[in-house]
Homo-oligomer: A and B are copies of this chain.
């Protein structure tokens, strides 16, 4: 079986490395979700990924490197979904209203992991750096997409709108946890549409 990564065909050796890393990431996601970043030990991650602890250290130098890869994959996925969405206003309002957001099937797990990692970032500068770099990547892609969709938009304006969208997406994702309020979803959708049509230029994005 040939594995394709980023459009390139991988050699046999690269393929084995990619598979091993995938196994470790899958196991680590489960362990971090179960016990938090501190509670999850390399021994358990090794056992779940059916590798030895020594083998794991061949692929990731420490737990932070595993976190970095987890965050990187989540953000890559979110960028893809954001680009698919193409700043279509009604789709963004729908996502915000229905807690759909940017994560698809793994939304709950990814959101739990990102919270775990954000909590760790408040006390661990290396994890904070990982989170900052990932956010900068997502943010830059958001700005670039806005300028593609609205060619007249200035870079400053795109930056401010990207920041507002990031705030709305992350706030909504956080509130999914406690979201038992009796907010009328149709009215919330209307409110977001009102906001978007006010602050985004009317133009090619919303057909």
Contacts and interface: CB of A to CB of B under 8 A. Distances in A.
Contacts of A134: 178
A192 B198 CA distance: 11
A122 B132 contact: no
Nearest to A117: B119
Contacts of A163: 175, 181, 183, 188
Given A123-B112, A160-B188, A191-B164, A135 B178 contact: yes
Q: Which 7 A-B pairs have the closest CB atoms?
A: A171-B171, A167-B171, A112-B122, A135-B178, A115-B119, A38-B39, A170-B171
A62 to B, nearest CB: 17
Interface in A168-207: 168-172, 174-175, 177-178, 180-184, 187-188, 191-192, 194-195, 198-199
A110 to B, nearest CB: 11
A18 interface: no
A116 interface: yes
Contact of A33 (B38, B122, B159): B122
A119 B177 CA distance: 9
A13 interface: no
A123 B34 contact: yes
Interface in A125-155: 128, 131-132, 134-136, 139
26 contacts: A34-B123, A36-B36, A36-B120, A38-B38, A38-B39, A108-B122, A111-B122, A112-B119, A112-B123, A115-B118, A116-B122, A118-B119, A131-B177, A132-B178, A135-B175, A135-B178, A135-B181, A136-B181, A139-B181, A159-B181, A159-B182, A161-B191, A163-B183, A168-B168, A170-B170, A191-B199
